[in-house]
Amino acid sequence: MGHAYDRQYVSKIKEIAKKQNLELREGVYCGLGGPCYETIAEINMLRILGGDAVGMSTVHEVTLAAHCGLRTLGLALITNKCLWDYNTTYEPVHEDVIRISELKANVLQQLIFDFVAQIPSKQE
C-alpha cells in the first residue's frame, strides 16, 4: 500500500491541473467508516497520526483497487473543515457540503475528462 497511487497518473493530473490554473494539494488522506461527520476525538487522533484530510470511501476503494493490481489515481474535493476544538462555534452542515460540491462539480469534471482523454487505450 506504500505505492497505491500510480505515479504517472499523479504527474499527468498535476500537469493538466496546472494548464487549467487549478491548485492541487497533496497530503495524507484518511478514511473512516461514516456515514456521519467525524467526531472531534477522531479528528484529533488523525491529526496526531499525520492526517491532512478525511473521508468515508476513497481510502477503502483505493485499498481494494491496489489489492486488485489496478492503476489508481485519488482525487478528493475538500468540502468542509473538520472540527478539532471543543470550543469552536463552527459546525459542519450537510447542505454546505452539497453546495460546495455543486459549485466545484464542473471544474472537477473537466479535470477528470481531460485526464481520461490522456490515458492511452489498450489498442495503442
CATH number, position 54: 3.40.50.1580
Residue 124 lies in a domain: no
DSSP 8-state class, residue 5: S
Residue 35 lies in a domain: yes
List, in order, residues 6 or more apart from 101 with CB less than 8 Å away. Answer: 77, 79
Residue 53 lies in a domain: yes
Contact at 8 Å (CB) between 124 and 26? Answer: no
Residue 106 lies in a domain: yes
List, in order, residues 6 or more apart from 87 with CB less than 8 Å away. Answer: none
Residue 102 lies in a domain: yes
- pLDDT at residue 102, as a whole number: 96
pLDDT over 70 at 85, yes or no:
yes
Amino acid at the residue 48: I
**Domains contained in the chain, number:** 1
Residue 14 lies in a domain: yes
Contact at 8 Å (CB) between 111 and 13? Answer: yes
Render pLDDT for 4-58 as a digit per residue (tens, 0 to 9).
999 999 999 999 999 999 999 999 999 998 788 889 999 999 999 999 999 988 8
